[in-house]
Amino acid sequence: MRKRWIILSVSLSIAAGSLAAYGVSRIAAKRNAAPAAAVVTYTGETAAAHFASAPAGTTQNILPDFTAAAEHGVEAVVNIENRQKYTVRRFSNPFGSGGFDPFEFFFGPQQEQQQQQSQPQQQERRSGGSGVIISADGYIVSNNHVVEDADELIVTLHDGTTHKATLVGTDPSTDIALLKIDAKDLKTIAFGNSEELRLGEWVLAIGNPYGLTSTVTAGIVSAKGRSLGVLPSQMGIESFIQTDAAVNPGNSGGALITTEGNLIGINTVIKSPTGAYAGYSFAVPSSIVRKVVTDLREYGVVQRAMLGITFQAITPDWVERFGKEHDIDEPGGMYIAEVVADGAAEAAGIEAGDVLTHINGKVMNSTADVQETIAKLRPNDKIKVTVKRGGSVKEYDVTLRNRAGKTELVKKDDVNLIDELGATFREVSDKLKKELRIRGGIQVVDLKSGGLLAKSRVQRGYIITAINDTPIASVSDLNRITDKVQSIDGIYPDGRIVSYQALSR
């Protein structure tokens, strides 16, 4: 049954005081399967020794050969066309091509003419991006923002043939999408291990910038584990590979490959003041992509593990600002600000105020380190977490949980409430709670078109206090609701109490 939303009740019973109140562009790319490429190797000597002994003017002998990786890669990178239908109403111009009608000009069109003039017409909007074939039977990985809101997806292969694609699933938290076309014996790109990437290593970006199909650019790995805060999902997971390979609009969803031809990233965003390439591009690492794609194929939904903490990286700036308050005098590790009730960390004995230093023996010094490590795992997976508490070091065995606080795998029809609502939230300040006489809630900061709140005409600033009669005090409370939304209760900063309810039709 389709549902429509109405405002169930509006009350002005509470007089509330007034609420005082990176240029990053997404990109798209194309890619293909890439077997082993011809790569320069150094036998019997180190690279440094080779450079030192090479005669002047012979640099071409010590650079990698990109040709094999590039030629195989373009065969597995595809163009994806996103077609969206929308309805417009058109009104005829009395001075149009039909000639001037003085009667119509002075007295307006008659009823029959009005009906013709205001008749809705359906039009089509098209946008493009890239994708990478990862299986010979037609599975293609791309970006969520490339396929988002599509009524029809058309995939064009390297040889020019086209196919209608089926959307298998998406994951806004990582901006990854999985598609399927009905084809066989396709060229593919094999997954590589992004964790083995080294700074300065050569990589190739393949895609369709500005509609220029099968474009290959080269660069080096400039950084790993970059977090930009650009993914629209409230639960965004960012641990980007940064490169200086040229990437532009149209490259989104395309391949980032090694000189051996292995897929080690999906090109996703660029950092630019203009929206065009300005020296930096960012890709979702293959370690995350592979796990997301596997989940979408096997379960139809991403099995996201939750550690159940909120944390902040202990940087030199953090130490300067908050170190004295928390008795921390050196950078390193992650300060655990909150432990979620009934979460995995709490169950293991981890406490707020602990400093997380390692997960499974790997050093954790940034948000991206933690996110990438946990993003590769599933609910019920077990990890070892090392923390510092006071002057001692403690190690805990933690069993990860799902977003509802359970160890079971989630089902495809379980609701991911944050994605369904289509908004970003912040928790309500104590001052505002006092002014509005509420115990808690989360405030809508931004709305995504197509989300449940936007469709219901909820405005920014609205404070959700309950969903399906379940109190909402923090963003993490949204993860505990897995049923379809039937009702939303809340209040605006001006004191208007507004409830929304789903009605079947």
CA distance 26 to 130: 12
Phi/psi of residue 305, nearest 5 degrees? -85, 145
Q: Identify any residues that bridge with 395 across adjacent strands, giving them in sequence order.
A: 386
DSSP β-ladder status, 3-11 and 497-504: antiparallel
**Cβ count within 10 A of residue 445:** 12
Q: Alpha-carbon Rg of the chain, whole angstroms? A: 27
**Cβ count within 10 A of residue 80:** 28
Is position 360 annotated in a ligand binding site? no
Residue 172 structure tokens: 């806004």
SS3 string, 276-324, reads CCCCCEEEEEHHHHHHHHHHHHHHCCCCCCECCEEEEECCHHHHHHHHH
CA distance 371 to 417: 20
Give the 3-state secondary structure of residue 243. Answer: strand
Q: For residue 357, what are the contacts with CB-CB under 8 A and spacing of at least 6?
A: 332, 333, 334, 363, 364, 386, 387, 388, 393
CA distance 148 to 96: 37
Give the 3-state secondary structure of residue 397. Answer: strand
Catalytic positions: 145, 175, 252
Q: For residue 503, what are the contacts with CB-CB under 8 A and spacing of at least 6?
A: 3, 4, 5, 6
Residue length of the chain: 505
Contact between 471 and 440 under an 8 Å Cβ cutoff? The reply is: yes
Is position 44 annotated in a ligand binding site? no
Phi/psi of residue 357, nearest 5 degrees? -115, -35
- Cα angle 83, 88, 94 (rounded to 5 degrees) comes to 140
Is position 251 annotated in a ligand binding site? yes
- Cα angle 305, 198, 193 (rounded to 5 degrees) comes to 45
CA distance 282 to 221: 10
Is position 163 annotated in a ligand binding site? no
Judged on CB neighbours under 10 Å (0-12, 13-18, 19+), 296 is buried
Is position 489 annotated in a ligand binding site? no
**Cβ count within 10 A of residue 189:** 28
Token match 């406490």: residue? Answer: 351
Annotated binding-site positions: 145, 175, 250-252
Annotated binding-site positions for substrate: 145, 175, 250-252
